[in-house]
């Protein structure tokens, strides 16, 4: 796997990828002399996606990349000047020109952590003007990354640990970076790899891919390869004319399958031979361009058996239409009898890969006990998250000038939790999470083995909980613009996601009608909320 190495100048987001109101508010703050007031925002979601009881935190690596390169170029400032009032004080634009994130501090859940409603994915503090400007890009970077990781984790839970899951949805993604984000974070969420080459190059995601129908239809069978000769796998012995050898095997295979030798499409066979000449050690057959049983299978077997004579073992077959489960069973059966017939045991276990609009329901069918499917390619359903295409994250001001802030509003759903906070996960003796607690930053952390009185969100009464272990959730990643520790490699975050999910417990992990996980407030935070909700100016 290549190292993660996105050249910094290609950070996915840039400062003007923001809502105009961030800029108008920036001018408002500046005009009010408040641009540098210390402020803190929290980024969180209000409901777990897809009707589940968990989400995975992700997107931090993109946020850090964005913050480290955050600078308005001259052209950016000029554009802003063109949309702001013509009599705007030029000193404001000087302020913008000098802006960077050297005053910004970020605490966050590590990527791959379990995340729950109201618990900050990110806490962002720094000068009011700049942390306000960051709102939209951070929401954009965290929301989709967390959504796609969660979606991928659900699909992995359905598929079980054995099936190989490949993300191949770039063509269906909502925009190019959407595709890159999807490939990166579906891997984090539990997929094994992606078809997306850029995700391999920039993010170190394992990439996979062989051939499409267009390759098969590009051959008619009359083409003459410039060099049909192939050397044996071991490197010893004379080179062999692969195409000729395939024709010999075709007769034997057709006789065994009860097919006429003219039935399998010669163009498909020529395409398989061309592919096998280029990838003798990684030959895969795409079976359904013409007819799986009467063309794809005999052609594949002829090529695979010819390669086998030279010591090469085909790596798989792929199906992209029809009843995938049923066909996989039939194909496995044919592979078994053919392996016995021609005494080539390696043929029995050739991986069967499938794709074609696979969603959660179809995946469950393909992953059922006894299924002969080995590799499952998923596109649209993983990258576009059709069950819920947005996580709906928000970014809310919780304190300014050291004073807690709260949006009250008449819609209780939209009320926010005030104050600079810490977040803890209380764990049982088996390491499974019991509930998350939000408290004011100045409070002492909960103690393992001690009773704690907390207010579950939405409850009228407090409850007592005694954790066996206590985990601090928000880690300091960026302090005053400086990265405090390197972000873990993507594969490490992926492992954390799988570990976290395994500890969650089956009733909360299940995908439909799960037991909800509680988030609670400390007594002091609850009291602050009540105080700020009381009528009258604060």
> In the numeric block, which tokens belong to residue 521?
């407030």
Among 109, 114, 208, 310, contact with a copy of itself (rule: CB under 8 A): 208
Pick 2 or 476: Cβ nearer a copy of itself? 2
Burial label, 307 (beta-carbon count in 10 A; 0-12, 13-18, 19+): buried
Name which of 383 and 501 has its Cβ closer to a copy of itself: 383
Classify residue 329 by burial, with Cβ atoms within 10 Å: 0-12, 13-18, 19+: middle
Of the candidate residues 126, 179, 190, 467, the single one contacting a copy of itself (CB under 8 A)? 179
Minimum Å gap between C-beta 448 and a copy of itself is: 36
Residue 39 CB, nearest approach to a copy of itself (Å): 7
Region of residue 398 (phi > 0: left; psi between -120 and 50: alpha; otherwise: beta): alpha
Please pick, from the candidates 113, 136, 299, 439, the single residue that binds a copy of itself as defined by CB under 8 A: 136
- 417 lines the binding site for a copy of itself (CB under 8 A): no
Alpha carbons 367 and 345: distance in angstroms, whole number: 25
Q: Which is nearer to a copy of itself, 229 or 476 (CB)?
A: 229
Binding mask 35-74 for a copy of itself (x = CB under 8 A): --x-x-x---------------------------------
**In terms of Cα–Cα distance, which of 68, 65, 130, 135 is closest to 98?**
130
The whole-angstrom separation of Cα 200 and Cα 208 is 9
Closest CB to a copy of itself among residues 406, 454: 406
- Residue located via tokens 């097919």: 259
Q: With beta carbons less than 8 A apart as the criterion, state whether 382 and 182 touch.
A: yes
What is the Cα–Cα distance from 81 to 159, expressed in whole angstroms? 53
Q: In whole angstroms, give the CA distance from residue 52 to residue 114.
A: 12
By the rule CB under 8 A, 342 interacts with a copy of itself:
no
* Window contacting a copy of itself (CB under 8 A); options: 133-141, 151-159, 340-348, 518-526: 133-141
Q: Which of 229, 244, 255, 278 lies at the binding interface for a copy of itself (CB under 8 A)?
A: 278
The values of phi and psi at residue 517, to 5°, are -100, 135
- The set of residues, in sequence order, having a beta carbon less than 8 Å from that of 226 and lying 6+ positions away, is none
State the pairing for strand pair 164-167/375-378: parallel
369-408 footprint of a copy of itself as x/- string (CB under 8 A): -----------x--xxxx-xxx-xx-xxx--x--x-xxxx
Q: Are 421 and 441 in contact (CB under 8 A)?
A: yes
Among 4, 28, 330, 495, binds a copy of itself (CB under 8 A): 28
Does 140 sit near a copy of itself (CB under 8 A)? yes
Cβ closest to a copy of itself, residue 210 vs residue 526:
210
Binding residue for a copy of itself (CB under 8 A) from 56, 96, 170, 435? 170
Site for a copy of itself in 316-335 (CB under 8 A): 321-322
Pairing type for strands 316-319 and 352-354 reads parallel
Residue closest to 60 by CA, chosen among 133, 143, 154: 143
The residue among 63 and 437 lying less far from a copy of itself, judged by its C-beta, is 63
> Is 472 strand, coil or helix?
strand
Answer for the pair 27, 88: CB distance below 8 angstroms, yes or no.
Answer: yes
281 binds a copy of itself (CB under 8 A): yes
The footprint of a copy of itself on residues 490-529 (CB under 8 A) is none
Taking phi over 0 as left and psi of -120 to 50 as alpha, with beta for the rest, 515 belongs to: beta
Q: Which two tokens stand for residue 351?
A: 């991986």
Q: With respect to a copy of itself, which residue has the nearer C-beta, 85 or 506?
A: 85
User: Which among 174-182, 470-478, 488-496, 498-506 is the span making contact with a copy of itself, rule CB under 8 A?
Assistant: 174-182
The answer to whether 146 contacts a copy of itself (rule: CB under 8 A) is: no
Binding string, 81-100, against a copy of itself, x = CB under 8 A? -xx-x---------------
Tokens of 491: 């594969």
In whole angstroms, the minimum distance from the beta carbon of 412 to a copy of itself comes to 10
Judged by CB under 8 A, the residue of 144, 187, 477, 517 near a copy of itself is 144
Whole-angstrom CA distances from 10 to 86, 194, 258, 392 are 32, 21, 57, 26
Judged by CB under 8 A, the residue of 102, 218, 337, 479 near a copy of itself is: 218
Interacting positions 291-310 with a copy of itself (CB under 8 A):
291-292
Position among 112, 137, 433, 514 found at the interface with a copy of itself (CB under 8 A): 137
Give me the least distance between CB of 405 and a copy of itself, in Å please: 4
Binding footprint of a copy of itself, residue count (CB under 8 A): 127
Tell me which residues in 233-272 interact with a copy of itself (CB under 8 A). Answer: 262, 265-267, 271
User: What is 118-167 written as a DSSP string?
Assistant: TS-SEEEEEEHHHHHHTHHHHHHHHHHHHHHHHHHHHHHHHHTTTSEEEE
In the bound state with a copy of itself, the residue whose beta carbon lies nearer, of 159 and 208, is 208
Decide: residue 345, CB within 10 A, 0-12 exposed, 13-18 middle, 19+ buried.
exposed
- The verdict on 203 binding a copy of itself (CB under 8 A) reads no
Q: Which of 56, 139, 158, 306 binds a copy of itself (CB under 8 A)?
A: 139
Q: Give me the count of residues in the chain.
A: 538
């Amino acid at each position: 796997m290549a190292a993660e190495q996105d050249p910094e100048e290609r950070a996915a987001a840039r400062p003007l990828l923001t809502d105009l109101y961030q800029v108008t508010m920036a001018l408002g703050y500046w005009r009010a002399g408040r641009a540098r007031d210390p402020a803190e925002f929290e980024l969180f979601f209000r409901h777990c996606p897809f009707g589940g009881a968990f989400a995975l935190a992700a997107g931090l690596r993109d946020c850090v990349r964005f913050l480290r390169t955050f600078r308005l170029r001259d052209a950016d400032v000029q554009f802003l000047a063109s949309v702001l009032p013509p009599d705007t004080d030029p000193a404001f634009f000087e302020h913008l020109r000098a802006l960077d994130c050297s005053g910004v501090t970020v605490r966050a859940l590590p990527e791959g952590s379990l995340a729950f409603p109201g618990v900050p994915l990110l806490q962002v503090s720094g000068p009011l003007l700049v942390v306000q400007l960051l709102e939209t890009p951070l929401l954009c970077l965290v929301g989709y990354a967390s959504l796609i990781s969660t979606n991928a984790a659900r699909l992995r839970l359905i598929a079980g640990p054995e099936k190989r899951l490949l993300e191949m949805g770039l063509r269906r993604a909502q925009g190019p970076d959407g595709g890159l984000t999807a490939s990166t974070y579906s891997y984090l969420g539990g997929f094994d790899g992606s078809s997306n080459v850029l995700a391999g190059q920039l993010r170190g995601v394992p990439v996979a891919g062989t051939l499409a129908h267009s390759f098969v239809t590009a051959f008619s069978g009359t083409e003459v390869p410039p060099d049909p000769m192939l050397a044996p796998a071991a490197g010893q012995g004379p080179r062999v004319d692969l195409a000729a050898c395939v024709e010999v095997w075709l007769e034997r295979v057709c006789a065994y399958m009860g097919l006429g030798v003219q039935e399998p499409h010669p163009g498909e066979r020529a395409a398989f031979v061309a592919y096998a000449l280029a990838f003798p050690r990684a030959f895969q057959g795409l079976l359904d361009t013409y007819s799986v049983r009467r063309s794809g299978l005999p052609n594949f077997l002829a090529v695979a058996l010819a390669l086998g004579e030279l010591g090469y073992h085909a790596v798989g077959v792929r199906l992209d239409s029809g009843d995938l489960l049923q066909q996989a069973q039939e194909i496995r059966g044919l592979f078994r009898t053919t392996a016995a017939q021609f005494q080539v045991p390696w043929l029995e276990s050739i991986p069967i890969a499938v794709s074609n609009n696979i969603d959660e329901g179809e995946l469950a069918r393909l992953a059922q006990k006894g299924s002969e499917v080995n590799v499952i390619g998923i596109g649209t359903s993983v990258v576009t998250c059709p069950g819920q295409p947005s996580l709906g994250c928000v970014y809310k001001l919780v304190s300014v000038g050291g004073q807690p802030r709260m949006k009250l509003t008449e819609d209780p759903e939209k009320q926010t939790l005030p104050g600079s906070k810490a977040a803890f996960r209380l764990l049982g003796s088996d390491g499974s999470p019991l509930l998350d607690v939000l408290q004011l930053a100045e409070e002492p952390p909960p103690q393992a083995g001690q009773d704690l009185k907390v207010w579950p969100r939405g409850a009228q009464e407090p409850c007592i909980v005694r954790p066996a272990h206590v985990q601090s959730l928000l880690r300091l990643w960026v302090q005053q613009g400086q990265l405090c520790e390197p972000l873990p490699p993507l594969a490490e975050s992926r492992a954390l996601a799988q570990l976290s999910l395994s500890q969650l417990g089956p009733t909360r992990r299940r995908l439909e009608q799960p037991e909800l996980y509680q988030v609670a407030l400390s007594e002091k935070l609850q009291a602050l909320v009540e105080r700020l909700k009381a009528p009258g100016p604060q």
